[in-house]
A and B are shown apart, each in its own frame.
Chain A
Amino acid sequence: MDGAIATDDTWTVAGHTFRSRLIVGTGRYKDLEETGAAIAASGAEIVTVAVRRVNLSDPKAPMLQDYVDPKKYTYLPNTAGCHTANEAVRTLRLAREAGGWNLVKLEVLGPPPLLYPDMQGTFEAAAALIKDGFDVMVYCADDPLAAKRLQDMGCVAIMPLGAPIGSGLGVQNPAMISMMMEHITVPFLVDAGVGTASDATIAMELGCTAVLVNSAIAHAKDPIRMAKAMKLAIEAGRLAHLAGRMPRRMGADPSSPLTGLIR
C-alpha cells in the first residue's frame, strides 16, 4: 500500500459501479467548450444534465452531447424546474428515451430564494418514478426521517443538501449529515452547498459515498483549475475517512519526547 486509494475502492449505485466519487453538474458554464474541459479535469464519471425543449428556431445550435460524450460519461438526468410528480415523471421518461438510462436524479424544489427541497412533492414524485421503473437518486432535506423513508420506498441514493443550491456556503450541517448517514445503507451524497475544495473534503471525511458539485466549479474564476482541485479534494477526504482521524483532545499533547532533554 503506497498511500494511494486502492483501485478497488469503488462505489455502486443501482448495479452501476464507479471509481470517481465526484459527480459534476454541467450547468452555468461560460460555454459548452469550458463545460467539456472542466468535466474532463474533474475526473468525474457521472454528470448531471437537464432536459429542456429544443430551440426549434435554431436546430443546428451545438448540443451538450457534442462536448460531453454520453458514451464516455454517465448522464444523470435531473428534474430541475419540475414542481409536481407528473412533470417529473414526464421529464424523466423523455430523458430515458433520449439516453436509454433508468438512473435519474430527482429534485422537487420549493420557491426562490432558498430552492429548498419540497419533501412532500419529492415523496410523491419518488413513488411515481419508482413505480415506473426508474432508479431514483434523490435530493432531499437534511432530515433523517425523510431520508430513511425515501430509502425504504426504494430510492437508490440519498442526497441531502449541505447548504442551499448554488450558495457555496459549504457543509453547514456536518453533525446532522453524520447522524443521517447512520441509518442509510444506500449511497449517501452531499448534493448542494459545496463552495470550494475544502468543503468537498469535509463531506468525504464525514463518510459520504460521493459529492455532487456544480456551481463551485462553474462559477470559480478558473473552472478547469477548480475542477482539478475538487478531484484532489474528494480523494483527500476519502483517504482521510478511510485512515480514521485522531481523537480530538482539549489540550496539548507534545509530539517530541520529553526525555533526554539537556539541562
Chain B
Amino acid sequence: MSGTITLTLNGQARAFDAPGGTLTVLGLLTLLELDARKVAVERNEEIVSRSRYGDTALASGDALEIVHFIGGG
C-alpha cells in the first residue's frame, strides 16, 4: 500500500502522506490546520457529516470541497 494519497482539494491537486495508506477527513483537516468546527466538507459532491469526519477514509482521486462562511448579502 502506497503511503501517498492524491486529492483534488478545492479544485487543486495535492498529495498527502498517509501513514499506513489511510487518511481520514479529520486527519486531512488536521494536516491543513483547519478548525473542523468552522468548515464543511463535500467529498465527490456528497456532504460528509461532521460526526463522520473521524471514520471517513479518503482515497486517491477523491475530489473535496472545503468551505466556510464569509461575509455576504
Binding site for B on A (CB under 8 A): 25-29, 32, 35, 48-54, 56, 59-60, 63-65, 75, 77-78, 80, 90-91, 93-99, 165-166, 212, 214-215
Contacts and interface: CB of A to CB of B under 8 A. Distances in A.
Interface string B55-69: 000000000011111
Interface string B1-38: 00000000111100000000000000000001111001
A230 to B, nearest CB: 14
**Candidate in B67, B71, B73 with the most chain A CB atoms within 10 angstroms:** B73
Interface residues of B, number: 27
> DSSP majority for the A interface?
mixed
B7 to A, nearest CB: 11
Contact of B69 (A51, A90, A93): A51
Given A54-B10, A56-B32, A97-B49, A63 B71 contact: no
Contacts of B73: 25-28, 48, 78, 80, 165-166, 212, 214-215
B72 A75 contact: no
A214 B49 CA distance: 31
A35 B69 CA distance: 14
Nearest to B72: A50
Contact of A49 (B39, B48, B72): B72
B39 A75 contact: no
Contacts of A77: 69
A53 B66 CA distance: 6
A54 B36 CA distance: 12
Contacts of B66: 53-54, 56
Contacts of A59: 32-34
Nearest to A26: B71
A98 B10 contact: no
Given A56-B9, A60-B33, A94 B72 contact: no
A49 B67 contact: no
Contacts of A35: 71
